[in-house]
Amino acid sequence: MIKDLVVNLTVGTDRDPAAQFAISIAAKFEAHIAGIAFAYDPAITPTVMDGLSASWVDALRAENRAAAQEAVDRFEAAAKREGLSAEHRIIDANLGRAAKPVRPDGPAVRSCSGRADRPGAGAAG
């Protein structure tokens, strides 16, 4: 029996099929559901770095964070409509480190707090 589900929330769109599907599964199994939205740092190539201001980069970060919050708000509203036990996390992320393994010999594992945790150690949230 399914007790807990985790879904990666789609950011920057009004429709999130993965979240809708996960919510329907959680409702069917009366499971707890957690939604995770990533707020990525702006992707800046070296060719444009000369003309950038810190305020512009901060504005892009704020836009990405707001888009992640909108995804979380949609998720929370949908979970509430279904009467589900739900939680969410917004993780500030950087595309440059997205695929970096936590350990040289192991898979990349991140806890909901964004800290790297050992597989099987129980991620702290």
- Cβ distance 39 to 67 under 8 Å? yes
Q: Are residues 25 and 63 in the same domain?
A: yes
Q: Are residues 115 and 57 in the same domain?
A: no
List 117's β-bridge partners, or say none.
none
Q: Which residue has the higher pLDDT, 16 or 105?
A: 16
Q: Each residue of 2-49: pLDDT tens digit?
A: 899 999 999 988 889 999 999 999 999 999 999 999 998 887 766 666
Q: Are residues 54 and 22 in the same domain?
A: yes
Lowest-confidence region among 14-28, 64-78, 107-121: 107-121
Distance CA(51)–CA(75), nearest Å, equals 37
Q: What is the mean pLDDT of the chain?
A: 80
List, in sequence order, every beta strand (DSSP E) within the chain: 4-8, 32-40, 86-93
Q: Are residues 24 and 47 in the same domain?
A: yes
Dihedral sign of CA atoms 80, 16, 29, 111 in order: negative
CB neighbourhood size of 1 (10 A): 5
Q: Are residues 64 and 39 in the same domain?
A: yes
Domain that holds residue 105: 99-125
Number of domains in the chain: 2
Q: Which CATH number is 67's domain given?
A: 3.40.50.620
